[in-house]
Amino acid sequence: MRILVTGASGYVGGRLVPLLLSKGYQVRCLARNPEKLAAKGWQGVEIVRGDVLKPDTLESAFDNIDVAYYLVHSMGSKKDFENSDSRAAGNFGKAAKESDVKRIIYLGGLAKQTESLSAHLRSRQEVGQILGISGVPVTELRASVIIGSGSASFEIIRDLASKLPVMITPRWVQSLCEPIAIRNVLQYLLACLTEARTEGKILEIGGGEILSYAKMMKTVAELMGKKILMIPLPVLTPRLSAYWLNIVTTVPMRIAYPLVEGLRNDSVCTNRQITEWIKIDLFDFREAVSRALNTHTEGELASRWTEASSGQDNMVNGVKSFKILQDKRTITASVPSDHIFRTVQQIGGKVGWYYGNWLWKIRGFADRLIGGVGMRRGRRHSLYIRIGDAIDFWRVEKFEEGRYLKLRAEMKLPGQAWLEFKVIENQVGGSTLEQTATFIPSNWFGVLYWYLVMPAHFLVFRNMAKNIVIKSLPNR
């Protein structure tokens, strides 16, 4: 069976692809940035460049495809994500129909359809309808909160449980949901390929336990050896709640708000037909959380919400009339190039930025205050890097092992910024570190911003380059 996967860089898709390969399926992935997927190192995967918002890029992706997984959504985009979701689903469904795809499998959101349904959940359900209009049979799985290491929803719950012994809580913490372990979600997605009765059906999947968000947070805290005191306050709106989550948790405002807005709707299975067709062992909530916590502490995650494309990939806000502004540092030292690059490769996260970490934290906190991603995303792994990784408020745009690292800024800025590290081995021994900070202002305010922060840049970038070389010395 030949399978197309969209959203392979996301949390669920990043775990589904290896499972499909292990079962012997022929897998093709659609990606706006193929280099990002290639960096995952999946053997036997065909990667094609394409964008569901650009219908003329989809034809080759569907060539000789039997089943297509649709795992993309526009939540977190700065633009109207409902409109983007609708257009993307329409383009995808039309291309699938024209290519004689036999089935589409889609993972959507679980909630009862009401007038008060949040924009996020309403959009997820409308996507399923639009895919179905194409004429290709659709299997739509609807899930509530997914529990797993690296899940945005789970990281919110974990961060709140670990950081706040006392919480002033809004009404939504009493909403009911039916969480499901990521492993069970993947089992259902995989089993639908061979279970013909799921074709053309909307199926609700859950772990079997109905819990309030308050109960979930208390259980997570208990498993972490902590306690939470909750003080209800009915006047907290979804926007205020999302703003608070933006400050306290790793999840930024653009993702926190649509998630929180959806929490006002109960998300509980009312139809358990799938459990009769697909027999799997469902993890209870405590076991799912324990597995997620253990995986998080062990180091590298198979996938994380930070890896998903934000819709800003390859976007450049710079205007040609503004020149490129740079801060470049070059240091030559009698240190092997692999030593220096190993130090570069560990930058960010718990290691920090080699100089003025308190300044970086202040910049990250300021970014959070205005709804940006801030510094708390950390790293996927303490040493290893691949294209597409988030490193604090940067994104790995290019990476060449032992030689080159290019980071693109994702903090809120009046322009676009990059930070590059190049290590060159010298013929006479030793090596040279080239560190370059580049900024393309989007307007005159961006130019002013660059010169206002120039003293801080001079201090930070100058000493950061020096300390990278110092940290690379063999006796350090």
DSSP 17-49: HHHHHHTT-EEEEEES-HHHHHTT--TT-EEEE
* Residue 293 contacts residue 158 (beta carbons within 8 Å): yes
Q: How far is CA 3 from CA 70, 73, 103, 106, 311, in A?
A: 11, 19, 10, 13, 24
Tokens of 284: 């209870």
* Residue 84 contacts residue 54 (beta carbons within 8 Å): no
pLDDT value of position 276: 93
Domains contained in the chain, CATH given: 2-307 (3.40.50.720), 325-471 (3.30.530.20)
Cα–Cα dist 153/178, whole Å: 13
Q: Taking the mean position of all CA atoms in its chain, how far away is CA 362?
A: 23
pLDDT value of position 231: 83
End-to-end C-alpha distance for the chain, whole angstroms: 53
pLDDT value of position 372: 81
pLDDT value of position 301: 66
Q: How far is CA 69 from CA 30, 56, 125, 138, 144, in A?
A: 10, 19, 16, 10, 19
CA atoms within a 13 Å half-sphere pointing along the CA-CB vector of 76: 21
pLDDT value of position 173: 82
pLDDT value of position 78: 53
Q: Is 466 exposed, middle or buried (0-12, 13-18, 19+ CB in 10 A)?
A: middle
Helix (H, G, I), strand (E, B) or coil at 109: strand
Q: How far is CA 217 from CA 214, 249, 374, in A?
A: 5, 13, 23
Closest C-alpha among 26, 106, 8, 33 to residue 64: 26
Q: What are phi and psi of 4, to 5 degrees?
A: -105, 135
Q: Which residues pair with 104 in a beta bridge?
A: 68, 138
pLDDT beneath 70, residues of the chain:
74-79, 114-116, 235-238, 296-302, 305-306, 308-322, 476
List the alpha helices (DSSP H) in 139-252: 152-163, 182-191, 213-223, 238-248
**What string of H, E and C letters represents the secondary structure of 57-102?**
HCHHHHCCCCEEEECCCCCCCCCCHHHHHHHHHHHHHHHHHHCCCC
Cα–Cα dist 240/171, whole Å: 12
Q: In sequence order, what are the residues at sequence separation of 6 or more whose Cβ sits closer than 8 angstroms to the Cβ of residue 92? A: 6, 52, 58, 68, 70, 104, 131, 134
pLDDT value of position 296: 56
pLDDT value of position 238: 66
* Residue 68 contacts residue 62 (beta carbons within 8 Å): yes
Q: How far is CA 25 from CA 3, 322, 328, in A?
A: 7, 50, 48
Closest C-alpha among 398, 463, 409 to residue 439: 409
* Residue 238 contacts residue 173 (beta carbons within 8 Å): no
Q: Which helix (H) or strand (E) holds 133?
A: helix 119-133
Cα–Cα dist 44/349, whole Å: 32
Helix (H, G, I), strand (E, B) or coil at 107: strand
325 C-beta neighbours (distance < 10 Å), count: 19
pLDDT value of position 351: 92
Pairing of strands 229-232, 176-177: unpaired
Q: Which residues pair with 96 in a beta bridge?
A: none
Q: Which helix (H) or strand (E) holds 331?
A: strand 325-333
Amino acid of residue 430: G
Residue length of the chain: 476
Would you give the DSSP letter of residue 404? Answer: E
* Residue 184 contacts residue 151 (beta carbons within 8 Å): no
Q: Which helix (H) or strand (E) holds 366?
A: helix 357-369
pTM of the model: 0.77
Cα–Cα dist 472/452, whole Å: 32
Helix (H, G, I), strand (E, B) or coil at 6: strand
pLDDT value of position 311: 46
